[in-house]
Amino acid sequence: MNYIVANWKSNKKFDEVWVWFDEFGKQYQPRPEHEIVVAPPFPFVFEASKKLKELDLDRVSLGVQDVSPFPFGAYTGAVSVGMVAEVVNYAIVGHSERREYFHETHQEIANKVEQLHEAGVMPILCVDAPYAREQIAALRKEDLDKLIVAYEPLEAIGSGTPQEPEEVKRVVDEIAEYLPESTPILYGGSVKPDNAHIYLGIEGVNGLLIGGASLDPGKFATLAKQA
Ligand code: PGA
């Protein structure tokens, strides 16, 4: 099974969410080997869930782009996993933009993974090569068994130039050594409709994390079809 994850990042207004799903719904062709995950910003998650139900798209589920490292409680501004667990199956955590702009630490990210597991939401943990081992080591042992990892080389994100497939394979093989054998490892960084099949074809890569190319529903549907 391959995961194709749309990370909208901090983009789109409320009315654009409906348009995205309508357009995507028209062009999307489900494939049995692909699980599509759409991760809109927090304020849109419940509307997106309603819309998905209405469209009844096969093999498409929802995710969030982050989650609080804390449970419910006095944590002003935080979104606890319990608030969204009814409608999302996945949560991206530890994205390099969260690390860079919000100064998230390995331990905070490990706490997020723990929160997700307690709520039954599958974490998609983003890592880059220099710290993958340390980040994985910060997780609780029991959290290693239910995890998706996304390898995202910093220089490839949003740059238009994905990492060379040989290098992706080398790093993915290295990351796999720190993980249980069954852990899916995704690649992310400037994946587009015309190169998606190359990255999904790398042995050991079980999916793709898509930023820029997921903002356009037609492009994302094409990517999912061609990958
Ligand atoms: P990109 O982003 O596809 O725009 O490079 C990938 C990501 O940050 O997940």
- For 54-113, write each residue's pLDDT tens digit: 999 999 999 999 999 999 999 999 999 999 999 999 999 999 999 999 999 999 999 999
Catalytic residue at 16? no
* Dihedral (CA of 132, 2, 47, 218) sign: positive
- pTM, full prediction: 0.98
Structure tokens at 193: 């409709």
| Cα 184 to Cα 69, 123, 144, 147, 204, distances in angstroms | 23, 11, 11, 8, 8
Q: What is the mean pLDDT of the chain?
A: 97
Catalytic residue at 117? no
Instruction: Report the atom number in ligand 1 closest to the C-alpha of 162.
Output: 5
Rounded distance, CA 53 to CA 28, Å? 15
Q: Which residue's alpha carbon is at the smallest distance from atom 9 of ligand 1?
A: 211
Amino acid at 62: L
210 Cα–ligand 1 center, Å:
5
Q: Which long-range contacts link 210-213 to residues 24+ away (Cβ below 8 Å)?
A: 210/4, 210/5, 210/6, 210/7, 211/7, 211/9, 211/157, 211/158, 212/158
Of these residues, 34, 95, 108, 117, which one is catalytic?
95
